[in-house]
A and B are shown apart, each in its own frame.
Chain A
Amino acid sequence: MTDYIIKNACVYDPANNVAGEIRDIFVVDGKIAEEPSANAEVIDAGGCLTLPGGIDSHTHICGTKVNFGRYMSPEDMRAGRAPRKNGMRAVSGYSIPTTYGNSYRYAHMGYTTLTEGAMAPLEARHTHEEFRHTPLQDGLVLTLFDGDWEVMRAIANGDVKRAAGLIAWRLNAVKGYGVKLTNPLGAEMWSWGKNVECIRKPIPNFNLSPVEFITGMIEANEMLGLPHSIHLHCNNLGKPGNYTCTIGTMGLVPDLNEKRQTAYLTHVQFHSYGGSGWSDFCSKSEPVANMVNRRPQVTIDMGQVMFGRTTTMTADGPMEFNLYRLHQDKWSNHDVEMETASGVIPVMYRRKNLVNSIMWAIGLELALLVENPWQCLLTTDNPNGAPFVKYPEIIGLLMSKEYRDKEFATVHKSTGKRTCLAALDRELGFEEIAVMTRAGQARALGLDQFGKGHLGVGADADIAVYPIRPDRIDPSKQYAEIIRGFAQTKFTMKGGVLVSRDDVILADDLNRTFWCFPKVPAAYEMSRDPELISVFEKYYTIRMENYPVDEKYYIKRSMKIETETAL
């Protein structure tokens, strides 16, 4: 393995309090080292912006619903086509590209770690198979527990420890990294053609309310000592007036973990809507951001919407049905037995559309109104808000008031009356962008302890060098250069291997999968639990012994994380 000296790098490493220092980085054996090795190759960064490898804490790139998006929208493959060349495979697609397309495009943007935001446990094999073919990024998959009957029953009975045991068993079985709750209990209601109203009303048959479920899951998650907190997609996504639900949910979150947040609320843009219907739809980013500012135990991500064509996909089945009724275009819906649901529809966000313009403004408002960048991370909920290739434009918008004003002038003219974006003067700096795109993600996901998201000695040599000279650029004026710079690195390194240089991909087959194995005591070991066994025998279409994903065949390079539990 080649060692490197990256000379003359302008380093921003917020986790180690480094902001814009020119230094040399020594890469030895795939890690950052204190001293260079004797035969290291020297790369000159030329004073360019150098950040730890990017981490996406919530994206949809692998799994059945992504693939169903591909089935449904063959027209998406007409964009983004590139032939095979220089060891790169042929790729195609824009909002739902091929796995290699995802991997190459993320690598060009300097991303080295990706989190699949929602995996239905029963479809874990497919997700891991697609991750096997996402060669240039480490992967983690969050596992859906929002409609898991056994866990719901355990929490309804007040037995949080049993719920924790069930989560541990399932994470181990499907090789998941963390707990994802999508519209908690919504999937169960959707089986009856309904949705949960907000967080207080118990659902029939289980006599369990989202409040009880979410608090129970938070407790169970912390009992298992998982590196990530619960990853929560709140109830009532996309409904006017849903911000009360979101704020109510944040109010439920206790502060149980000193290293990281206790709840991660994802794509909060879709959950910060005011009004009672589409006619008086407006932004409520201010109360939501205020709540985040007051609650250090909560971390959110933006879920920014950008104009253009994309595909929405979520485990939130009823929401997708509502979207389908609005758009009257293609729609797919899927029921995953006793676990969860999902829906997929293609959409087009338009500047001329008032609702879309307000959505666009809300995401930016959240990022600008949340004071601590560690609490608001940059995502588009790819591809729901926009494909991830729009990240550089979002960075441009956050760093430049001038660019925001220029874009604001092109959206629906009533947007100003329903949002506060035009009044926000804040412009983020490189350090804040570094937090919102890698350091914050690493902390939120608990990956910092495994050497991700920082450039301290011993960290993984995941390094992105962008063709931007921080000393020579004024981001608030030269936003075009910022966007171009963040769209393609000078080079990206992952684990000490050069992955890309300019527009050429240089490596293949480097991906590892992180997953968690909570060490539970025998009393909570569910593989021999008579109730779970009988559930599989009675209701599942698959036998319990065939259910677990075989680490040897499905996981390319397994990074098993054993956690100490408090059961």
Chain B
Amino acid sequence: MRRITLIMREEMAECKLPIEAEAICPETMSKTIDLSFFVGNEKKKITEVFDIRVDGEAAGPATTEIILVGDCRRVKRVGEYMTAGKIIIEGDIGMHCGDFMTGGEIEIMGHAGDWLGREMLGGKIVCHGNAANYCGSGYRGGRKGMRGGEILVEGSVGDYCAECLFGGTVRVKGNAGIHAGANMKGGHLIIEGDAVMPCGDMFAGEADIFGTVTDFLATFREKGVVSVEGHTLTEFEGDLAHRNAKGILRVGKYIRI
């Protein structure tokens, strides 16, 4: 088991530039820690950005654990294309954490930036704080968003959570902003709190919203009352704006638009 602890250097706290840290990933770090990445438009050595401590030896990515300490809100693309192993982020993390990941686990103690786990294919992300916009979504223009794996956000999420969801599960314990599950084509979205105008242009998949939905779209057909995890929800089918839509949306209270 190899544990790599990356501690953000103090002088970097002054720096306002984004850090393109796709190299922070068990694949690369199980082989070498002599890495560099872009800070703004300048390539810097990892040691200029982080103080590094390495404990133990790893047999491969699966036995590699990376711990990020310090203010990492500007650190982007951590765990991109990750396949195995574990990343623990002790504070907040920047945009695109866990993009395209296929396996392994990311645990975020603080809040996550935009695009958390976008287009992920497998593995697990747990965020104990809030996640910003586009959590578990697709990217601009793409048809397939997250296709597998699991995201659990214990706080709330911003707008467009699970947009274009294609597979896997996104669970949010708090509230969601506008357009959660827009364009969903599969998978399962669970929001334990409230949501605004969810699941527009949904083709398929399931979405459960335990709290109150405001601006509920008129293009869903009511199917009846069901019980999910002890909550009494009204089940709808839609989005009927779409031909042959097979999406299932279950909501607690709803206020139509």
Interface residues of chain A, those whose CB is within 8 Å of chain B, are: 72-76, 78, 328-329
Tell whether, in the assembled complex, residue B140 and residue A75 are in contact, meaning their CB atoms are under 8 Å apart. Answer: yes
Identify 6 residue pairs between A and B in the complex whose beta-carbon atoms are under 8 Å apart, listed by A's number: A72-B141, A74-B139, A74-B140, A75-B140, A75-B142, A78-B142
Chain A: which residue is nearest B142 at the CB level? A75
Cβ of A329: which chain B residues have Cβ within 8 Å of it?
Answer: 143
Tell whether, in the assembled complex, residue B143 and residue A76 are in contact, meaning their CB atoms are under 8 Å apart. Answer: no
Identify 6 new A-B residue pairs, CB closer than 8 A, beyond the known A74-B141, A75-B143: A73-B141, A74-B140, A75-B141, A76-B141, A328-B243, A329-B143
Cβ of B140: which chain A residues have Cβ within 8 Å of it?
Answer: 74-75
| Contact among B141, B142, B242 for A328, CB-based, below 8 A | B242
Tell whether, in the assembled complex, residue A75 and residue B139 are in contact, meaning their CB atoms are under 8 Å apart. Answer: yes
Report B143 CB to chain A, min CB distance, Å.
7
Report B43 CB to chain A, min CB distance, Å.
13
Cβ of B142: which chain A residues have Cβ within 8 Å of it?
Answer: 75, 78
Cβ of A72: which chain B residues have Cβ within 8 Å of it?
Answer: 141
Cβ of B242: which chain A residues have Cβ within 8 Å of it?
Answer: 328
A-B contacts counted at CB < 8 A amount to 16
Cβ of B139: which chain A residues have Cβ within 8 Å of it?
Answer: 74-75, 78
Bound Cα distance from A82 to B242, whole angstroms: 37
Chain A: which residue is nearest B244 at the CB level? A328
Bound Cα distance from A329 to B142, whole angstroms: 11
Cβ of B143: which chain A residues have Cβ within 8 Å of it?
Answer: 75, 329
Chain B 132-157, CB-CB to A under 8 Å as 1, else 0, gives: 00000001111100000000000000
Cβ of A78: which chain B residues have Cβ within 8 Å of it?
Answer: 139, 142
Chain A: which residue is nearest B243 at the CB level? A328
Chain B: which residue is nearest A72 at the CB level? B141
Chain B: which residue is nearest A325 at the CB level? B243
Chain B 231-257, CB-CB to A under 8 Å as 1, else 0, gives: 000000000001100000000000000
Bound Cα distance from A328 to B185, whole angstroms: 13
Chain A: which residue is nearest B140 at the CB level? A74
Residues facing A in B107-128 (CB within 8 A) are none
Bound Cα distance from A72 to B141, whole angstroms: 7
4 smallest CB-CB distances across A and B, nearest first, come from A75-B141, A74-B141, A74-B140, A75-B142
Report B37 CB to chain A, min CB distance, Å.
15
Q: Among the interface residues B139, B141, B142, which one has the most CB atoms of the partner chain A within 10 A?
A: B141
Report A328 CB to chain B, min CB distance, Å.
6
Bound Cα distance from A73 to B143, whole angstroms: 10
Bound Cα distance from A76 to B142, whole angstroms: 9
Q: Among the interface residues A74, A75, A78, which one has the most CB atoms of the partner chain B within 10 A?
A: A75
Bound Cα distance from A75 to B143, whole angstroms: 9
Chain B: which residue is nearest A71 at the CB level? B141
Residues facing A in B18-52 (CB within 8 A) are none
Bound Cα distance from A76 to B139, whole angstroms: 11
Cβ of A328: which chain B residues have Cβ within 8 Å of it?
Answer: 242-243
Bound Cα distance from A78 to B142, whole angstroms: 10
Report A349 CB to chain B, min CB distance, Å.
16
Cβ of A74: which chain B residues have Cβ within 8 Å of it?
Answer: 139-141
Cβ of A75: which chain B residues have Cβ within 8 Å of it?
Answer: 139-143
Report A115 CB to chain B, min CB distance, Å.
28
Cβ of B141: which chain A residues have Cβ within 8 Å of it?
Answer: 72-76
Bound Cα distance from A76 to B140, whole angstroms: 10
Bound Cα distance from A74 to B141, whole angstroms: 5
Chain B: which residue is nearest A75 at the CB level? B141
Report A226 CB to chain B, min CB distance, Å.
40
Chain B: which residue is nearest A346 at the CB level? B141
Chain A: which residue is nearest B242 at the CB level? A328
Bound Cα distance from A73 to B141, whole angstroms: 5
Bound Cα distance from A78 to B139, whole angstroms: 10
Bound Cα distance from A483 to B140, whole angstroms: 33
Cβ of B243: which chain A residues have Cβ within 8 Å of it?
Answer: 328
Bound Cα distance from A72 to B142, whole angstroms: 10
Bound Cα distance from A328 to B243, whole angstroms: 8
Bound Cα distance from A268 to B243, whole angstroms: 32
Bound Cα distance from A72 to B143, whole angstroms: 12
Bound Cα distance from A72 to B243, whole angstroms: 21
Report A122 CB to chain B, min CB distance, Å.
27
Bound Cα distance from A300 to B139, whole angstroms: 40
Report A149 CB to chain B, min CB distance, Å.
35
Report B139 CB to chain A, min CB distance, Å.
7
Bound Cα distance from A78 to B99, whole angstroms: 14
Bound Cα distance from A402 to B143, whole angstroms: 37
Report B28 CB to chain A, min CB distance, Å.
20
Report A475 CB to chain B, min CB distance, Å.
39
Cβ of A73: which chain B residues have Cβ within 8 Å of it?
Answer: 141
Bound Cα distance from A73 to B140, whole angstroms: 8
Bound Cα distance from A398 to B140, whole angstroms: 38
Bound Cα distance from A75 to B142, whole angstroms: 5
Report A78 CB to chain B, min CB distance, Å.
8
Report A348 CB to chain B, min CB distance, Å.
10
Report A446 CB to chain B, min CB distance, Å.
40
Bound Cα distance from A328 to B183, whole angstroms: 12
Chain A: which residue is nearest B203 at the CB level? A328
Q: Among the interface residues B140, B242, B243, which one has the most CB atoms of the partner chain A within 10 A?
A: B140
Chain B: which residue is nearest A73 at the CB level? B141
Bound Cα distance from A74 to B138, whole angstroms: 12
Bound Cα distance from A75 to B139, whole angstroms: 8
Report A95 CB to chain B, min CB distance, Å.
12
Bound Cα distance from A384 to B141, whole angstroms: 19
Bound Cα distance from A74 to B243, whole angstroms: 25
Report A144 CB to chain B, min CB distance, Å.
27
Report B151 CB to chain A, min CB distance, Å.
22
Bound Cα distance from A329 to B242, whole angstroms: 10
Bound Cα distance from A74 to B142, whole angstroms: 8
Bound Cα distance from A364 to B139, whole angstroms: 37
Bound Cα distance from A517 to B40, whole angstroms: 51
Report A350 CB to chain B, min CB distance, Å.
15
Report B115 CB to chain A, min CB distance, Å.
14
Report A310 CB to chain B, min CB distance, Å.
14
